[in-house]
Amino acid sequence: MYTLFYILAYLAAAGFVCLAILKIRTFMKTSPLHIRWELYPIPHEGPKRAAYGGSYMEETNWWTKPRHVDHWMDLKAMGKEIFFLESTFEHNLPLWIRTYPFHMGLYMLMGGIMIVIFAAFIQVCGVSPKCGFMIFLGNIINAMVLFGSCMMAGGGIALIVRRTTDKGLHKYTTREMYCNLGAFVIFGLLSLCAWVFNPDYFTLCRRLMYNLMTGHFKALGSGWFVINMLWGFALMCWIPVTNMRHILIKYFMYHDIRWDDMATVWSNKNKDLINENLQFGVTWSAPHVTEDGKAKNWVEVATTNPADDPNASK
C-alpha cells in the first residue's frame, strides 16, 4: 500500500511535467498570427516611453535604426502582475479583494514545495534533520501552510460566491470554472486539516520528499496528510488540462500577444504566416467580396477594387 502511494507521487510529478510541456508546445505551435492590437504602454519600450504609451515606431525612419528592448521593465511589469495582480486591482477592485488572497495562498504553498525540496536535498547530502537550520525551515513551512491554506480556501470560496452572485461574471462562468476553484478549495481545506491534526507538517513533507529522493517507501504516520497529498497528486495532473493552465502559458500570452510589437519587416516568421493566411479561401456571400458566388482567397480580395466591377452592389 505504501509503495502504491509513492508510485502515484512519481506518476503525478511526471504527468504534470509531460502535460505542461505538451500544452505549452501545442499553444506555441497552433497559436495563430495575432492581430496587432497596439496595446500601449508596452513595458519593454523603457520607462521614458512607457510613461506615456510611446513606441519606437514614432521615430522618423524607425526601421533603419537599432531597436532597444528593456527586458528589466518586462520582468518588473510581470512581477507586479503576478505578485500584486495590478490590472485587477486597477480595473476591478471588488474582484481583486477575493482573487488576491486566493493567489497569494497558492503562491505560498507553491513556494513551500520548493523549500521542502531543498530541505530534503540537503538531508540527502548529510545535513541532520534536527539541526537549527532545519528547525528554522520547519517554522517557515508550518507558517506558510497555515496562512496559505486559509487564504487559498477562503479566497476560492469568495470567488465562487462572487461568480454566482455577480450577474456579469455569472454569464461567463462555466461549470469547469466552478470545479477548478472547488478543487483548490478542497486542497486548501485538506492541507489545513493535515496541519491541525499533526504536530509538525514540515516533518511530514520533508520525510515524504526524502523518501521519494532515496526510494525508501516508508509509512508517514498520518492519514490526513496522505489524503492531502493524494488530492494534491490529482490536482497536479488536473491543472495543465483545464483553464487553470494559464499559470503555465501566461508568460507566452504576455510576450507573444499583449506586448508583441515586433515589426513584420523584422520577422521572417510573421512574413511566412501572413503569406500562408492570405491563401485562405473566402466564402462570404456579399457581392463586394465574392461577386457571382466565385470563390476567392484573401490575396484576390485585397487586390480587387469592387468599384471596378459594374455588377457589384453600390
Residue 241 pLDDT more than 80? yes
Residue 134 pLDDT more than 60? yes
Residue 293 and residue 146 share a domain:
no
Note the pLDDT of residue 293: 58
Note the pLDDT of residue 190: 97
Q: Is residue 70 part of a domain?
A: no
Residue 282 and residue 230 share a domain:
no
Domain limit, last residue, from 214, 241, 268: 241
Residue 298 and residue 150 share a domain:
no
* Containing structural domain, residue 303: 278-308
Residue 299 and residue 174 share a domain:
no
- Do residues 204 and 178 make contact, with C-beta atoms less than 8 angstroms apart? no
User: Which tens digits make up the pLDDT trace of 61-78?
Assistant: 988 888 888 889 988 988
Q: Is residue 218 part of a domain?
A: yes
Residue 292 pLDDT more than 80? no
Residue 303 pLDDT more than 60? yes
Instruction: Give the mean pLDDT of 90-114.
Output: 94
Residue 52 pLDDT more than 90? no
pLDDT band at 314 (very low <50, low <70, confident <90, very high): very low
Quick one: what percent of the chain has pLDDT higher than 90?
51
Residue 287 pLDDT more than 80? no
Q: Is residue 268 part of a domain?
A: no
Residue 210 and residue 127 share a domain:
yes
Instruction: Give the mean pLDDT of 2-11.
Output: 93
DSSP for the chain, please give it. -HHHHHHHHHHHHHHHHHHHHHHHHHHHHHPPPPP-------GGG-HHHHTTT--GGGSTTGGGS-----HHHHHHHHHHHHHH-HHHHHH-HHHHHHHHHHHHHHHHHHHHHHHHHHHHHHHHTT--TTSHHHHHHHHHHHHHHHHHHHHHHHHHHHHHHHHHH-HHHHHT--HHHHHHHHHHHHHHHHHHHHHHTSS-HHHHHHHHHHHHHHT-----S-HHHHHHHHHHHHHHHHGGGSGGGHHHHHHHHIIIIIS----GGG-HHHHHHHHHHTTSEE----TTTSGGG--EEHHHHHT--GGG-TTS--
* Poorest-pLDDT segment among 28-32, 44-48, 86-90: 28-32
pLDDT band at 214 (very low <50, low <70, confident <90, very high): very high
Note the pLDDT of residue 309: 56
Q: Is residue 95 part of a domain?
A: yes
Residue 304 and residue 202 share a domain:
no
Residue 206 and residue 156 share a domain:
yes
Domain limit, last residue, from 190, 219, 241: 241
CATH number (domain holding residue 92):
1.20.950.20
pLDDT band at 194 (very low <50, low <70, confident <90, very high): very high
Q: Closest by alpha carbon to 106, among 127, 129, 85?
A: 85
φ, ψ (nearest 5 deg) of residue 92: -150, 75
Residue 283 and residue 236 share a domain:
no
Q: Is residue 79 part of a domain?
A: no
Q: Is residue 314 part of a domain?
A: no
Q: Is residue 179 part of a domain?
A: yes
Residue 217 and residue 125 share a domain:
yes
User: Which tens digits make up the pLDDT trace of 167-186?
Assistant: 888 888 999 999 999 999 99
Q: What is the length of the chain?
A: 314
Residue 106 and residue 236 share a domain:
yes
User: Which tens digits make up the pLDDT trace of 16-30?
Assistant: 999 999 988 988 888
φ, ψ (nearest 5 deg) of residue 68: -110, 125
Residue 164 and residue 21 share a domain:
yes
User: Which tens digits make up the pLDDT trace of 244-268?
Assistant: 888 888 887 777 777 888 888 888 8
Domain limit, last residue, from 222, 241, 260: 241
Residue 36 pLDDT more than 70? no
Residue 178 and residue 300 share a domain:
no
- What amino acid occupies position 60? T
Note the pLDDT of residue 178: 94
Number of domains within the chain: 2
Q: Is residue 138 part of a domain?
A: yes
